[in-house]
A and B are shown apart, each in its own frame.
Chain A
Amino acid sequence: MAIIRTNVLICAGSACVSSRAYDFKTALLEALEEAGIKEEVNVVDTGCIGTCDLGPVAIVYPDGIFYVHLKPEDAKVIVNEHLLKGRVVNRLLYQQPMTKEVFPSLSEIDFIVRQKRIVLRNMGVIDPESIEEYIAKEGYQALAKALTMSPEDVIDTVKKSGLRGRGGAGFPTGLKWELTRKATGNPKYVICNGDEGDPGAFMDRSVLEGDPHSIIEGMMIAGYAVGASKGFFYVRAEYPLAIKRIENALEQARSYGLIGENILGTDFSFDIELRRGSGAFVCGEETALIASIEGGRGEPRPRPPYPANRGLWDSPTVINNVETLANISPIILNGAEWFSSTGTEKSKGTKVFALAGKVNNTGLIEVPFGTTLGEIIFDVGGGIPGGKKFKAAQTGGPSGGCIPAEYLDLPIDYESLKQIGAIVGSGGLIIMDEDTCMVDVARFFLEFTQSESCGKCPPCRVGTRKMLDILERIVNGEGEEGDIERLIELGEEIRRDSLCGLGQTAPNPVLSTIRFFRDEYEAHIREKRCPAKSCRALIAYQVIPDKCRGCGICARVCPVGAAQGKPREIYHIDTGLCIKCGDCFAKCPFGAIEKADLVLEKV
């Protein structure tokens, strides 16, 4: 009989897969075969560990050694050194970006130590394609427990836990369930909103890929609580791996009789179907999502009536976000008090953030509410790369706002962010350093919402277009006095008059950057200057004569022949020809090319 002595867990989240994790896995299996120890080592796929910029990553158990940046050719080394001889391969270990300290074990690295993982509890621990491994980690125990409680008690537990919707708005989940339970009408439905659309947010995708059974279990408990016997996953078609893993999980649960008629010998029956969205941002809005499942155009309708009373096919429907549902099982198993002991007064539990942008450790993190932005960026995130200065963080993606440096010590929760004009949102967290132009950031997010506006209501359809026109003029150096005031006025009207959350929040990035970085807008408009030297129309590349050594690299990389000169002499850049691609700036080995304010054309 073969005895498994080692487990190698390979992260099989989308990020690691796209950086060729499966090529590494193939190479590893070959190397194990060659060394003749294939029977002793179990190679398992697991969910996103969160350290996405270190991928592909793998963990070797029982010692818990964490390997990063794996290439197929590393497989043989790991097999021959570590798995055969017990010598850890030092060069493949994680190195802290600031201190250069090396950490062999996943459980020791700062990125993990500072987190509290409830939603991400099984990521990096179990194989998402194995229902048995999910069951081994207390899976479906919460469902079994819930079925021994009355639906009212289940709702009461969720209410007492203080769990609020993680999709963005933060509506109390237990209350939503109660409203749906009390609503008249049959049948009732449960929908899992997996239409994650914020640029930079990927926590729902990761959880669906990495722990699909936890969402299924959450949906079933919701179904039991509200009196529904049918559930729908709504997942965007751009998440093929998530869809594959959900379908696989549903099939397994069905074959075990965990989905179907008379679950675990009780009267409770529940089935789940999966529906694919075609990636329209507006379909994350609940009424548009319902229209899309019904087969109509993904367009929102006015609320009330809320879905709790009139939802899918006009029946009472509870819609919960992926991350919300992932919290349900631990709450039922461990109790409301256990959950509410984490977090702040009004925001309980943890929040998963997709940490992106100018930060050393990008990836997926889960921290308790009340953690400060500074702790997230500098302790979990490992600081800003290249010794640059932190400027602001964008929360809530295109519906959110920015948090400037003076709020680094602000404990993050639903209320505190709202007070400063930002939102928790779905949990995208984009870190920006001093090289980021805040006007351009606002323009980027508005461009996104503008193109995603469904066009049903004029404030959103026309209003965001008008705002975008103004912003485009400003970043192109054509801003006028009064533009800022026009933006604020338009923004407030769109916020007030739009039909759904998309329009109601679309102006947020603009209004919030005006609030905290008005001086940058003014510099663009009055001085035709971009303080961050990021807006192309407002900068010129030029050679610093003292630093130029005449190597000629700039002339070689320049695609339009704007960098000119003779070897060993000082080069110059012809601003008339220059298309401002920035290649010379990036490639100059002596840092002799700088971005300067474009002065001449102003006169």
Chain B
Amino acid sequence: MKSLEDLKRIREQAQAQIKLRTQEANTKIIVGMGTCGIAAGARETLMAILDELSKRNIQDVVVTQTGCVGLCEYEPLVNVVKPGQPKITYMKVTPERARQIVASHIVNDQIINEWVLSTEEGA
């Protein structure tokens, strides 16, 4: 390292490594990962979401999991929570749907209404 620019470059690279720990993300994607969810393919859905986010280099989104909410027949369920907006729950989210949700809802702010199971205000 010979200059300030080098230091800055290393810092930017390294920040990606620890971004999960800073909890400053704005948008949350929550995947239902109860036994029912996993049986319906939630793991593949989760991986597809992570893969899509990483392909698009989206940094400020946190992906977490939750347990069974009792709506097993609609699994895999995916919640998207954007700040100041109601919580949107998508149903039967296959990996393909998941990628489209990232593209449409996360990136372009367009909710895909035909897959929405419920909308919860103030979540």
Which stretch of A4-12, A110-118, A205-213, A310-318 is in the interface?
Answer: A4-12
| A85 closest partner in B (C-beta) | B33
- Expressed in whole angstroms, the Cα–Cα distance for A256 and B21 within the complex equals 25
Out of B1, B25, B66, name the residue touching A257 (CB < 8 Å).
B1
Are A84 and B2 touching (Cβ within 8 A)? no
Are A9 and B14 touching (Cβ within 8 A)? no
List chain B residues, Cβ under 8 A from A258. 1
- Expressed in whole angstroms, the Cα–Cα distance for A398 and B77 within the complex equals 61
- Expressed in whole angstroms, the Cα–Cα distance for A4 and B38 within the complex equals 19
Asked if B111 is at the interface of the complex by the 8 Å CB criterion, the answer is no
Out of B2, B23, B33, name the residue touching A62 (CB < 8 Å).
B23
Asked if A319 is at the interface of the complex by the 8 Å CB criterion, the answer is no
Are B1 and A256 touching (Cβ within 8 A)? yes
Q: Which of B12-33 contact A (CB under 8 A)?
A: 13-15, 17-18, 20-21, 23, 25, 30-33
Are A7 and B21 touching (Cβ within 8 A)? yes
| B28 closest partner in A (C-beta) | A62
Known contacts A3-B51, A85-B38: A135-B14 contact under CB 8 Å: yes
Are A136 and B18 touching (Cβ within 8 A)? yes
Report the contact-size class of chain A (Cβ under 8 Å from the partner): 35 or more
Asked if A86 is at the interface of the complex by the 8 Å CB criterion, the answer is yes
List chain A residues, Cβ under 8 A from B21. 7, 9, 59, 61-62, 125
List chain A residues, Cβ under 8 A from B85. none
Asked if A63 is at the interface of the complex by the 8 Å CB criterion, the answer is yes
Q: Majority SS of interface residues in chain B? A: helix
Asked if B3 is at the interface of the complex by the 8 Å CB criterion, the answer is yes
Q: Which of A103-158 contact B (CB under 8 A)?
A: 107, 125-126, 132-133, 135-141, 144
Known contacts A62-B62, A63-B64: A7-B20 contact under CB 8 Å: yes
A140 CB to nearest chain B CB (Å): 6
List chain B residues, Cβ under 8 A from A264. 1-4, 7
Asked if A265 is at the interface of the complex by the 8 Å CB criterion, the answer is yes
Q: Indicate the member of A7, A86, A262 with the most B CB atoms within 10 Å.
A: A86
Are B23 and A85 touching (Cβ within 8 A)? no
List chain A residues, Cβ under 8 A from B30. 86
Are A86 and B1 touching (Cβ within 8 A)? no
List chain B residues, Cβ under 8 A from A87. 34, 66-67
Out of A61, A86, A132, name the residue touching B31 (CB < 8 Å).
A86
B68 CB to nearest chain A CB (Å): 8
Asked if B50 is at the interface of the complex by the 8 Å CB criterion, the answer is yes
Are B4 and A133 touching (Cβ within 8 A)? no
- Expressed in whole angstroms, the Cα–Cα distance for A84 and B64 within the complex equals 10
| B34 closest partner in A (C-beta) | A85
Are A85 and B1 touching (Cβ within 8 A)? no
B74 CB to nearest chain A CB (Å): 17
- Expressed in whole angstroms, the Cα–Cα distance for A84 and B47 within the complex equals 12
- Expressed in whole angstroms, the Cα–Cα distance for A125 and B3 within the complex equals 26
List chain B residues, Cβ under 8 A from A61. 20-21, 23
Are A86 and B67 touching (Cβ within 8 A)? yes
List chain B residues, Cβ under 8 A from A265. 2-4
Are A141 and B51 touching (Cβ within 8 A)? no
- How many CB-defined contacts (below 8 Å) exist between A and B? 96
- Expressed in whole angstroms, the Cα–Cα distance for A136 and B8 within the complex equals 9
Asked if A64 is at the interface of the complex by the 8 Å CB criterion, the answer is yes
Report the contact-size class of chain B (Cβ under 8 Å from the partner): 35 or more
| A63 closest partner in B (C-beta) | B64
- Mark each residue of chain A from 1 to 44: 1 if its CB lies under 8 Å from any CB of chain B, else 0: 10111110100000000000000000000000000000010100
- Expressed in whole angstroms, the Cα–Cα distance for A591 and B65 within the complex equals 49
- Mark each residue of chain A from 175 to 187: 1 if its CB lies under 8 Å from any CB of chain B, else 0: 0000000000000
Are A135 and B7 touching (Cβ within 8 A)? yes
- Expressed in whole angstroms, the Cα–Cα distance for A534 and B2 within the complex equals 63
Known contacts A135-B14, A136-B11, A257-B2: A84-B33 contact under CB 8 Å: yes
A333 CB to nearest chain B CB (Å): 13
B12 CB to nearest chain A CB (Å): 8
A267 CB to nearest chain B CB (Å): 13
Are A85 and B2 touching (Cβ within 8 A)? no
- Expressed in whole angstroms, the Cα–Cα distance for A64 and B17 within the complex equals 16
List chain A residues, Cβ under 8 A from B67. 85-87
List chain B residues, Cβ under 8 A from A138. 11
Known contacts A62-B64, A87-B67: A126-B18 contact under CB 8 Å: yes
- Mark each residue of chain A from 256 to 294: 1 if its CB lies under 8 Å from any CB of chain B, else 0: 111000101100000000000000000000000000000
- Mark each residue of chain B from 63 to 100: 1 if its CB lies under 8 Å from any CB of chain A, else 0: 11111000000000000000000000000000000000
| B65 closest partner in A (C-beta) | A86
Q: Which of B28-64 contact A (CB under 8 A)?
A: 30-35, 37-38, 46-47, 50-51, 53-54, 62-64
List chain A residues, Cβ under 8 A from B34. 85, 87
A248 CB to nearest chain B CB (Å): 17
- Expressed in whole angstroms, the Cα–Cα distance for A132 and B54 within the complex equals 20
List chain B residues, Cβ under 8 A from A125. 18, 21
Out of A4, A107, A126, name the residue touching B20 (CB < 8 Å).
A4
| B2 closest partner in A (C-beta) | A265
List chain A residues, Cβ under 8 A from B20. 4-7, 42, 61-62
- Expressed in whole angstroms, the Cα–Cα distance for A342 and B72 within the complex equals 53
- Mark each residue of chain A from 42 to 85: 1 if its CB lies under 8 Å from any CB of chain B, else 0: 10000000000000000101111000000000000000000011
- Expressed in whole angstroms, the Cα–Cα distance for A140 and B10 within the complex equals 11
- Mark each residue of chain A from 410 to 427: 1 if its CB lies under 8 Å from any CB of chain B, else 0: 000000000000000000
B20 CB to nearest chain A CB (Å): 5
List chain A residues, Cβ under 8 A from B25. 62
List chain B residues, Cβ under 8 A from A137. 18
B93 CB to nearest chain A CB (Å): 15
- Expressed in whole angstroms, the Cα–Cα distance for A139 and B10 within the complex equals 11
| A39 closest partner in B (C-beta) | B47
Q: Which A residues fall within an 8 A CB radius of B?
A: 1, 3-7, 9, 40, 42, 59, 61-64, 84-87, 107, 125-126, 132-133, 135-141, 144, 256-258, 262, 264-265
Having A3-B47, A136-B15, A264-B1, one finds 8 other A-B pairs with CB under 8 Å, namely: A1-B51, A5-B20, A5-B50, A61-B20, A84-B65, A136-B17, A256-B1, A256-B10
Identify 17 residue pairs between A and B in the complex whose beta-carbon atoms are under 8 Å apart, listed by A's number: A3-B47, A4-B20, A5-B50, A62-B21, A62-B25, A63-B64, A64-B23, A86-B31, A87-B34, A126-B18, A132-B17, A135-B10, A141-B7, A141-B11, A256-B10, A257-B1, A264-B7
Closest 7 CB pairs of A and B: A86-B65, A136-B14, A132-B14, A3-B50, A62-B62, A87-B67, A136-B15
